[in-house]
Structure 1
């Protein structure tokens, strides 16, 4: 039973860390200009935390089978309190993650528009081709003068 309590405590701690990471992710996504390096670091942290939470959740299930009990642990008030805290934190993090999805889509649209604008601008202002010649067709008459 002590192992299950430790596992639930570890899950709760990781979920609280995930909540902090998600809050920072929302903060980054709400900015006018996103810092891609910071966003990547947050994404990596989120992935690491989710993997660890999954590990402890699998461990929790194994310990429940071994002890012959199951969540929400109605007969065990200490475990029930931990489980209720976990469920509450999961709800909060799920909502935060749901709020991040439209912001990510918005940032992706902004990036695509910016990329499109830059590619149009660079194509219009190119003076020379890869061969070193001007891309514009000559206008008027061209004379070849030899002396």
Structure 2
């Protein structure tokens, strides 16, 4: 049973490492000029890894209850070392997530500033939500090329 907990912790470490890569990629996308279409895939990947991590953690807790051991596993140096790695990696992921959140908030603030500026112009309805000026008529027929 101790081997099973060890294997679960190893899988958790692997998933956390994948999350580091995904958050790094997410940060690079957020720093690009037009990231919206690329973020969807990253969010999906991140969510799948988080679900897998939650399942593994539930398994770890259940196995620990059966064996009457729990984190931080002071009585087992091997498990304890793995647990320290998990805790440290989790702290790094939390920091990366905060940084990505700050980048995203900054982008949203700039977009809001641009909207506010446009709204202050003489014509407060410069563009509709669809990206057209309110006086424009959009044709629903397409030209054949």
Q: Could you state the TM-score of these two structures normalised by the residue count of structure 2?
A: 0.77
The equivalent residue for 1:3 is: 4
SS of equivalent to 1:73: coil
Q: 1:82/1:115 Cα in 2 relative to 1: closer, same or farther (>3 Å)?
A: same
| Of 107-116 and 78-87, the range deviating more from structure 2 | 107-116
Asked if 1:121 corresponds to 2:112, the answer is no
Q: Unpaired segments of 5 or more residues in structure 2?
A: 139-145
Q: For residues 32-47 of structure 1, what are the structure 2 equivalents within 5 Å?
A: 33-47=33-47
**Distance in structure 2 (CA, Å) of the matches to 1:100 and 1:88:** 19
TM-superposed deviation, 1:3? 0.8
Q: Which runs of 4+ in 1 moved over 6 A?
A: none
SS of equivalent to 1:64: helix
**Distance in structure 1 (CA, Å) of the matches to 2:95 and 2:73:** 25
Q: For residues 52-91 of structure 1, what are the structure 2 equivalents within 5 Å?
A: 52-91=52-91
- Aligned residues between the structures: 129
Q: 1:34/1:78 Cα in 2 relative to 1: closer, same or farther (>3 Å)?
A: same
The equivalent residue for 1:30 is: 31
TM-superposed deviation, 1:105? 1.4
SS of equivalent to 2:34: coil
CA contact (8 A) 2:125 2:134 kept: no
Report Cα offsets for 1:81-127 as digits up to 9, x if no partner.
Answer: 11111111101001000111111112223344556649843479655
Q: Could you state the TM-score of these two structures normalised by the residue count of structure 1?
A: 0.76
The equivalent residue for 1:107 is: 107
**Distance in structure 2 (CA, Å) of the matches to 1:51 and 1:58:** 11
